[in-house]
Structure 1
Amino acid sequence: MFTGIITDIGTVTKVETRGDTRLTIACGYDMAGVDMGASIACSGVCLTVVDKGADWFAVDVSAETLSKTAAARWQEGARLNLERALKVGDELGGHIVTGHVDAVGRIESVEAVGDSHVFRIHAPKTVAAYLAPKGSVALDGVSLTVNTVEDTADGVVLVFNLIPHSAAHTTFGGAKTGDGVNIEIDVLARYIGRMRDLAA
């Protein structure tokens, strides 16, 4: 479990294909304190540490994960939002995030408004019912508040504001139009949707 509060930005330094895809990621964590088998959210995807060094760790990414997330686009040099798993007693500063991606969206536009930036993200219809104004969503692992939601013929556009602090401490500071974005809907919305379907 995670909170969507990014604690480091990692860089992919190696991509290997060995059945699954193995990524080596340079980071600022003290890896002596990270156990083998620990979970780290990498731009919203919960992945398991399978190897590590003083300032890097490696994860295996399955074909299923590559097909369902933006991880298929991660190449050497890619920057990833990192968050270690929540521990009992940690501050829940964002919202509950599982690291299970529901869909891949696309950045439609980024507009500077004052010191902040307004992002428009196009998402598929499969998640449209679970997005609401002032609700929570995890985008590339970052806990964000949805400003507005606009339904379209082929999906939904969600709009959010990125403040300067978030721009400086997440990969959204360098994001551009056309980039793919991992979307995880709020877990509460997921269960409410399931109950609605069963009651229908």
Structure 2
Amino acid sequence: MFTGIVTDVGRVLSVEERGALRRMRVACAYAPDTIALGASIACSGPCLTVVARGPEGEGAWFEVDVGAETLDKTSAGAWREGTRLNLERALKIGDELGGHIVTGHVDAVARIEKVEPFDGMSRFSIRVPREFVRFVAPKGSVALDGTSLTVNDVDGEAFSVLLIPHTLKVTTWGERKEGDPLNFEVDLMARYAARLAQTPA
């Protein structure tokens, strides 16, 4: 489990094709001795398992195997050497829950339709596949590229989020532009509420 509060921005160092999966090495600022083999790290949304790690400059590198499903259903298939990723380590009991409960299981790839910068902030208009619109509500939560964000308003298949200067600075959002793909995860509570509404009593 995660909170959608990004703790570092990593950078893809290498991508190695291994049949139906890809081994990726990511540089980060985490201390290498704090990254355990088998640990889960959310990488711009998808929860990935650490299979190797070591020191890299003043930080560390870790490697993950990205499977065919993740490559097909998320933006991970487009990650290349140099791609920057929003990173978050798994939630520990007792940690502050600053965002919302995020599983790291991406539901769909959304797209940025419009970016409106103002006063150091930016408003993003996001389009999601039609079948996921019912999970998005004004003032509700969504996870986009691993970031917990509050929905401002909803208009058909699009919704908007407002990012403050701090978020733009410490995540990859400051680099985002119109047309960019985003890994979209439905809020867990919205998912179960929708399921309960569909199930006969």
What corresponds to 1:196 in structure 2? 197
What corresponds to 1:177 in structure 2? 178
Residue 51 of structure 1 pairs with residue 52 of structure 2: yes
User: How many angstroms apart in 1 are the aligned matches of 2:68 and 2:2?
Assistant: 23
SS at match of 1:183: strand
User: How many angstroms apart in 2 are the aligned matches of 1:199 and 1:118?
Assistant: 39
One-letter code of the match for 2:191? R
TM-score by length of 2: 0.95
User: How many angstroms apart in 1 are the aligned matches of 2:80 and 2:128?
Assistant: 23
SS at match of 1:129: helix
CA RMSD of aligned residues (A): 0.9
Residue 67 of structure 1 pairs with residue 68 of structure 2: no
The sequence identity of aligned pairs, in percent, is 58
Aligned residues: 196
Aligned to 1:140, which of 142, 145, 154? 145
What corresponds to 1:158 in structure 2? 159
Q: Which runs of 5+ in 2 are unaligned?
A: none
User: How many angstroms apart in 2 are the aligned matches of 1:115 and 1:171?
Assistant: 15
- 1:32-76 per-residue CA deviation (whole Å, 9 max, x = no partner) reads 111100000000100000011111000000001111111111111
1:158, distance to aligned residue in structure 2 (A)? 1.2
Tell which deviates more after alignment, 108-117 or 47-56: 108-117
1:147, distance to aligned residue in structure 2 (A)? 0.2
One-letter code of the match for 1:15? V
Q: Which runs of 5+ in 1 are unaligned?
A: none
User: How many angstroms apart in 2 are the aligned matches of 1:159 and 1:199?
Assistant: 33
SS at match of 2:128: strand
Residue 126 of structure 1 pairs with residue 131 of structure 2: yes
Aligned to 1:115, which of 102, 116, 120? 120
User: How many angstroms apart in 2 are the aligned matches of 1:78 and 1:126?
Assistant: 29
1:115, distance to aligned residue in structure 2 (A)? 2.0
SS at match of 2:190: helix
What corresponds to 1:3 in structure 2? 3
User: How many angstroms apart in 2 are the aligned matches of 1:199 and 1:114?
Assistant: 49
Residue 94 of structure 1 pairs with residue 79 of structure 2: no
What corresponds to 1:15 in structure 2? 15
User: How many angstroms apart in 2 are the aligned matches of 1:92 and 1:48?
Assistant: 22
Runs of 4+ in 1 over 3 A off after TM superposition: none
